[in-house]
Copies of this chain bind each other. A is one copy, B any other.
Amino acid sequence: MTLAPQTHRLPFETIDDAIEALRRRGLRLSMTRQLVLEALFAARGPIAAEDIASRLRLVATSVYRNLELLERHGLVRHVHLGHGPGLYALVGHGEHEYIYCPGCGTARTVRPELLDPVRSHIKKRFGYEVRFTHFALVGQCLRCATPAGT
């Protein structure tokens, strides 16, 4: 599950930003919680709960519980790129949406405003306010759509 480099702003500039956001919401900063935040920050993109757990040698349970809590409080969001576990990422001012290519298993992030034309088309045509933050857009990338050897 690799991500193309992000040229635009990260959700939070520093871990302290995230911790501050956490504090503002009256949440505690336990050791585990801090480590989870650090892992999310270090990942610079969506990462599986189990990955965080194994990297930090934490029990998965606590990681899930922290992610769930952080998500409930809007600091984190999970996305599904394809089959497989949900992937978690920090949320901040700059939100992301994803386009995932099942061919090569890679995803790229997209600044939401770039999808606004799509959103407004669907809104007008069908009345739905769609977002690609929970399920990625799924489609073949240029490389995978091109027949091999050409």
Contacts and interface: CB of A to CB of B under 8 A. Distances in A.
Contacts of A47: none
Contacts of A99: 122, 126, 128, 130
Interface string A98-124: 010110000010100010011001100
Nearest to A119: B139
Contact of A128 (B125, B131, B134, B137): B137
Number of copies: 2
Contacts of A114: 125
Interface string A67-95: 00000000000001010000000000000
A127 interface: yes
Given A114-B125, A121-B118, A122-B118, A139 B135 contact: no
